[in-house]
Amino acid sequence: MHFKSIVRELRDMRDSIGNSSRRRAEGKHTNRRGRSHIAPEGSPSSSALFQQQSQWANMPPELLLDIIQRVEAAEASWPARRDVVSCGSVCRSWRDITKEVVKTPEQCGCLTFPISLKQPGPRESQIQCFIKRERATSTFRLYLGLSPALSGDASKLLLAARKIRRATSTEFVISLLGDDFSRATNAYVGKLKSNFLGTKFTIYDSQPPHDPAVQSNCQSNGRLHSKQGSTRSPSGNHNVATISYELNVLRTRGPRRMHCTMHWIPISAIQEGGTAPTPMTFAKCQKDQFPQSADPKGKNPLIEFSSNSLAETPESIQDTRNPLVLKNKAPRWHEQLQCWCLNFKGRVTVASVKNFQLVAAVEPCQNVSVAEQEKVILQFGKIGKDIFTMDYRYPLSAFQAFAICLSSFDTKPACE
């Protein structure tokens, strides 16, 4: 049987089982949400699922590994990459092998599961995305692809954010789903919060840092919220980065100046042989169920899950004494165009004060090569009305890059 036929049969079987399980759940609990999920191991629905899929669960591990490796190698981009997710949704044995086969974005340059959005991007290339802004609803959606014109309906929604204005600050709530911004669901992944002037922003992650001592307290710390309208969240808000914009008191011409201090990423991550913190699974203080993802047309729900967890070594724990600091790359003044210019290599086509490129801000004593200092880690720019490109690479994750770009959409009268 052809591999494509196997994947199609698996997807049809998954959909039929998902529909029947949803019908049973609706009959017993009419007030529960009808989203499909990967059933926890040992649950009744899980055992029933394995019984119905015994013809696939009993495949020899060598043959199963070969099938999943070929599917993973053949489907390198969305929407075709949903076949890899389908393989992981069949049963426990398929799920375990899929988690072993699928690599992190740093290793393969692909985004597959939700946890990929919290992992660093590739070292030698950029992951190219674009952001669409909806002014009416103050919503920002991050898609995987070159641009809406080139990607069309095949664009893969990665993250979404909603801007909420408060009396003394502005918040951007970031979610895995484009229409669910509640902090009490598993779709919530973090937020961006500004100060009163809009000159300083703090990025909060729903996941705790990799320090085991902090992870053990995530259950208690994650449920502490202020009384000002916040909801009970299954996960906490952990400070991962601070973004500062310089005040432009003299009102001089030029782009905004910004610095980003990545508290969870040590400067050693960009040194020779260094590594960046890479979460391999969502924290235990979150619920076991993960939100579903839909195909570009919104018809077939796809079940996604995290990659396999790995033991943390002492070297992988973040060094908060020497965090990575990013600064915007200085532009040059173009006499003929009479404007400040940066080389975005064709990815930005409209001049805007929001456009920027971020590089590492290092000291001579930190032993960072010149090539690493010149690498553009994150670039953001305008290509049309309410459409912007976002390209990021190691050591930033998609979530961190998206949060940094969201800070450009807030009003900053003191910085321009």
Answer whether residue 108 is part of any domain.
no
* CATH number of the domain that residue 250 is part of: 3.20.90.10
What pLDDT, on the 0 to 100 scale, is given for residue 6? 64
- Same domain, yes or no: 135 and 232: yes
What would the DSSP string read from start to end of 129-179? EEEEEETTTTEEEEEESS-HHHHGGGPEEEEEEEEEE-SS-EEEEEESSSS
CA distance 60 to 63: 5
Question: What's the number of domains the chain is made of?
Answer: 2
Together in a domain, 247 and 317:
yes
- Indicate whether 121 belongs to any domain: no
Give pLDDT, residue 43.
42
Cα separation, 232 vs 60, whole angstroms: 45
- Does residue 219 sit within a domain? yes
State the CB neighbour count (10 A cutoff) for residue 281.
17
Angle 320-233-85 from CA coordinates, rounded to 5°: 85
Instruction: Say whether both 80 and 139 belong to one domain.
Output: no
Question: Residue 316 carries which DSSP code?
Answer: G
Give the amino acid at 384: G
Same domain assignment for residues 56 and 149? no
What are residue 202's DSSP bridge partners? 193, 242
Q: With respect to residue 110, please indicate whether it lies within any of the assigned structural domains.
A: no
Indicate if 275 and 180 belong to the same structural domain.
yes
Same domain, 131 and 75: no
* Together in a domain, 151 and 48: no
One domain, residues 78 and 135: no
Is 270 a domain residue? yes
Instruction: Choose one of 68, 102, 136: the last residue of a domain.
Output: 102
Task: Please report the pLDDT score of residue 8 as a whole number.
Answer: 66
Question: pLDDT tens across 160-190, in order?
Answer: 999 999 998 999 999 999 999 999 888 999 9
Q: Which domain holds residue 10?
A: 3-102
Distance, in Å, from the CA atom of 361 to the CA atom of 277, rounded to the nearest integer, reads 19
Specify if 107 maps to a domain: no
271: in domain: yes
77 and 177 together in one domain: no
Tell me: do 37 and 168 sit in the same domain: no
Rounded CA-CA distance 380/362 in Å is: 21
Length of the chain counted residue by residue: 416
Domain membership flag for residue 17: yes
Using CA atoms of 220, 241, 170, 217 in order, give the dihedral in degrees to the nearest 10.
0
- Same domain flag for 172 and 80: no
Q: Is there a single domain that holds both residue 285 and residue 388?
A: yes
Per residue of the chain (416 residues), give pLDDT as tens. Answer: 565 666 666 666 556 555 544 454 444 444 433 333 333 334 444 444 444 455 677 888 888 899 888 988 888 888 888 888 888 888 888 888 998 999 999 999 999 999 999 999 999 999 999 999 999 999 999 999 877 776 666 678 999 999 999 998 999 999 999 999 999 888 999 999 999 888 899 999 998 876 443 344 433 333 333 333 333 334 468 999 999 998 865 555 556 789 999 999 999 999 999 999 999 888 764 443 334 444 444 444 443 444 443 333 344 344 456 899 999 998 887 778 777 788 888 899 898 888 999 999 998 888 899 999 999 999 999 999 999 999 999 999 999 999 999 999 987 554 55
